[in-house]
Amino acid sequence: MLHTPRPHDLLWGLRPEHLPQETPAWARAALGGHVPVVVRRAPAEPGWVAVGIRGAAREQRHATWMHVSDISRLVSPQAVARAGRWRSHAQPQWPALHALSQLAPRLDALGLAWGVTGSLGFELASGISAAHPDSDLDLSLRVPHQLPRDKARTLCVLVDDAPGRIDLQLETPYGAVALREWASEAPRVLLKTQNGPLLVSDPWQLQQVAA
């Protein structure tokens, strides 16, 4: 395994027999064909990782935990971006795919560690149909050091030039903050952490100042 599982990573290896008895039947069935689960942002005991199972319907999302020793494969959002499988997708006219084709070379040119998440990222990584014509384009940008807010505003302009609805999250060492929120003039922004959301003045500082 390349790294400790992080939010939005896709993990293979969770099987129906690993699930607790109270798990919904649809969630067990969803894992029948070597389907990956998605790492979610939640606490986990040592040796475990919090994950989510995707069902066929949008409302079918089940939270559970996976033992690290059961992970057989890990694909990060950044690996999905590097693979570039959207270039050969059967529906290039979908707004999310059109936007991705437009944004990818620009984000690459900036040297950013960006990745594809959400239903489109799941589909591109697994080959399992999950996206649809109205799917948003969900992107994740790993930013280990503080991104100046003026640069965040420049990124917003870049994103706004692309078609469709795009949600870009900045992944800091302590959680995720929406690009648009960090690009605003707000004195505090919402940081999604492993232990829940916090209002902070600086998402890159360990000392969080909650509301």
- Of 169, 177, 209, the C-alpha closest to 193 is 177
- Separation CA 94–CA 106 (nearest Å): 19
Given the residues 9, 70, 108, 138, the one annotated as active site = 138
| Domain hosting residue 50, numbered range | 10-75
Examine the residue annotation and report whether 9 is marked as an active-site residue of this protein. no
Report the pLDDT value the prediction gives residue 209, as an integer from 0 to 100.
45
In a domain, 175, yes or no: yes
Q: Which of 60, 75, 90 is the last residue of a domain?
A: 75
> pLDDT, tens digit, for every residue of 133-157?
999 999 999 999 999 999 999 999 9
Q: Which of 44, 75, 106 is the last residue of a domain?
A: 75
In a domain, 5, yes or no: no
What's at 202, amino acid-wise?
D
Same-domain pairing of 128 and 182: yes
Same-domain pairing of 60 and 148: no
Domain count, the chain: 2
> pLDDT, tens digit, for every residue of 72-129?
999 999 999 999 999 999 998 999 999 999 999 999 999 999 999 999 999 999 999 9
Same-domain pairing of 151 and 118: yes
Query: Is the predicted pLDDT of residue 2 greater than 70, yes or no?
Result: no
Report the pLDDT value the prediction gives residue 131, as an integer from 0 to 100.
92
- The helix/strand/coil state of 149 is helix
Same-domain pairing of 183 and 100: yes
> pLDDT, tens digit, for every residue of 47-74?
999 999 998 777 889 999 999 999 999 9
- Of 150, 200, 135, the C-alpha closest to 172 is 200
Examine the residue annotation and report whether 138 is marked as an active-site residue of this protein. yes
Token output for 75: 């694909």
Same-domain pairing of 67 and 113: no
Given the residues 70, 136, 167, 202, the one annotated as active site = 136
Q: Which of 37, 60, 75 is the last residue of a domain?
A: 75
- Separation CA 96–CA 163 (nearest Å): 7
Same-domain pairing of 83 and 109: yes
In a domain, 16, yes or no: yes
What's at 187, amino acid-wise?
P
Report the pLDDT value the prediction gives residue 103, as an integer from 0 to 100.
96
Q: pTM score, two decimals?
A: 0.92
